[in-house]
Amino acid sequence: MVGGAKNSALKLMAAALLATGRSEISQVPKITDILIMAEVLRRLGCDVTFTDGVISVDAPDKPGTEADYDLVRRLRASICVLGPLLARCGYVRVAHPGGDAIGSRGLDMHIAGLTRMGADIASEHGFVIASAPSGLHGATIWLDFPSVGATENLLMAAVLADGVTEIDNAAREPEIVDICQMLVGMGAHISGAGTSKLQIEGVPELHPVAHQTVGDRIVAGTWAFAAAMTRGSVTVRGVNPTFLEIALDKVISAGGEVMTEPNAFRVTMDRRPRAVDVSTLPYPGFATDLLPMAVGLASVSEGTSLITENIFDGRFMFINEMARLGADIRTDGHHAAVRGRDRLSSAPVRATDIRAGAGLVMAGLCADGVTEVSNVHHIDRGYPNFIDDLQGLGVAVERLVAPEEPSFDF
């Protein structure tokens, strides 16, 4: 059973800043990133509780306007407080974000869009400082790339802006639709959710709401590829399979059988997978977050696969770790040629980001011997109950306390 999407829940929590009072967001995964975001909101003056998968955010009449570096550096998604705080307060000071080391992800589109809406924005001493003392106004905004983060920030700013805002070439992810649904529930006027053009008619104020987070398609896709890699059979519930149409099609092309239901799917692979080529693209294309799993599948497939990353320039940072497991991979820029082997070989490896960590664990299932994955705090940021889920599927896995690094005297 897949829970709520991390990439949605974090932004829904930020959206709660747009209305005074208590909003409740259900089906929230208990992961490290959610706990960090909760602390970001507390420092902005919100009362935040998290019980049985429900986040309650009680936003004050006058939220704080500064998001500190010590938290923002740990969670890139915390930059999404920029739009709602600017819309509510007319001023915000947010540290430049951190997060996964998967390449450059600038704020240019966020800043350009907010500037068109009347904000004055500067960057000083590691902070983005934005002000709009007279309030934001509607504008027509064209995004050079369908950035999820920029779409979310501009969307949340536009719902309280004066007039109509159009965001063209907007991101179309299910998580964008989810935040639009929550905002409409709060009283926002939004049309075009799920398309490349969003139209937002600003309203004077919003009200709190209760909202359920959409299912996590990336976690679901991880289990789909795990079943295909291990020649197993896994049923995944809690996510709309149409959100993974291309990913599941790749599993079928590799020789797997996929059975779908309205809110579930089953993947069965009874043979060695065939090689398939994969290129990541914005939704509805193949998700960049599933690239490590695609590389893992290619590593144990018959033939050679060409994997192309078109979103993040640092997504291949984990390739050296895959090679330690015996994967035959050659990279050239944003392309990786992967020649499959029947089995991989165990080795100690290190997770470099959330999805790479999960991908290395899945690759370890296809390796002879015992594979040790370190830096698993990355996995904790995206996969709730990961060990329990693996054990429930019959995997011999345990979590150990990492040994301390040796010290040397000179």
Q: Give the dihedral sign, CA 362/335/321/318.
A: negative
What number is the average pLDDT over the span 298-303? 98
Residue 399: phi, psi to the nearest 5? -105, 130
Residue 34: pLDDT band (50, 70, 90) is very high
The highest-confidence range among 28-42, 126-140, 230-244, by mean pLDDT, is 230-244
Query: Could you state, in order of their start, the residue ranges of all structural domains in the chain?
Result: 6-212, 217-392
Distance CA 10, CA 406 (A): 37
DSSP 257-315: EEEEETTEEEEE--SPPBP--EEB-STTSB-GGGHHHHHHHHHTSBSEEEEE--S-TTG
Binding residues for phosphoenolpyruvate: 6-7
Q: Which amino acid is at 398?
A: E
**Three-state DSSP string of 41-90:** HHHCCCEEEEECCEEEEEECCCCCCEECHHHHCCCHHHHHHHHHHHHHHC
Whether 408 shows a pLDDT value over 70: the answer reads no
* Alpha-helical segments (H) within 316-396: 319-324, 354-364, 377-380, 386-392
Q: What is the pLDDT of residue 100?
A: 44
Distance CA 25, CA 252 (A): 35
Q: What is the pLDDT of residue 277?
A: 98
Output the pTM of the full model: 0.94
Q: Which residue is listed with tokens 């100690």? A: 348
Q: What is the pLDDT of residue 127?
A: 85
Residue 243: pLDDT band (50, 70, 90) is very high
**Between these two residues, 410 and 297, which has the higher pLDDT value?**
297
Q: What is the CATH number that goes with domain 6-212?
A: 3.65.10.10
Q: Topology of 217-392 in CATH?
A: UDP-n-acetylglucosamine1-carboxyvinyl-transferase; Chain (3.65.10)
DSSP 8-state symbol, 409: -
Residue 185: pLDDT band (50, 70, 90) is very high
**Which of 100, 178, 216, 380 is labelled catalytic?**
100
Could you tell me if 253 and 324 are in contact, meaning their C-beta atoms sit under 8 angstroms apart?
A: no
Whether 388 shows a pLDDT value over 60: the answer reads yes
Q: Which residue is listed with tokens 């809690």? A: 238
Q: Which amino acid is at 167?
A: I
Tell me the per-residue pLDDT of 72-115, one tens digit each, with 9 for 90 and over.
777 777 789 999 999 999 999 988 775 444 344 578 899 999 99
Q: What is the pLDDT of residue 71?
A: 78
Whether 116 shows a pLDDT value over 90: the answer reads yes
Residue 409: pLDDT band (50, 70, 90) is low
Distance CA 309, CA 220 (A): 20
Judge residue 16's burial from the number of C-beta atoms within 10 Å of its C-beta, 0-12 exposed, 13-18 middle, 19 or more buried: buried
Q: What is the pLDDT of residue 124?
A: 83
Q: Give catalytic status of residue 100 as yes or no.
A: yes
Binding residues for UDP-N-acetyl-alpha-D-glucosamine: 76, 289, 311
Residue 255: pLDDT band (50, 70, 90) is very high
Q: What is the pLDDT of residue 314?
A: 82
Q: What is the pLDDT of residue 43?
A: 94
Q: Where are the beta strands (DSSP E) in 203-245?
A: 210-212, 233-237
Could you tell me if 368 and 389 are in contact, meaning their C-beta atoms sit under 8 angstroms apart?
A: no
Could you tell me if 267 and 234 are in contact, meaning their C-beta atoms sit under 8 angstroms apart?
A: yes
Q: What is the pLDDT of residue 79?
A: 86
**Between these two residues, 290 and 315, which has the higher pLDDT value?**
290
Q: Which residue is listed with tokens 């940021």? A: 381
Could you tell me if 365 and 229 are in contact, meaning their C-beta atoms sit under 8 angstroms apart?
A: yes
Please state, rounded to an integer, the average pLDDT across all residues of the chain. Answer: 93
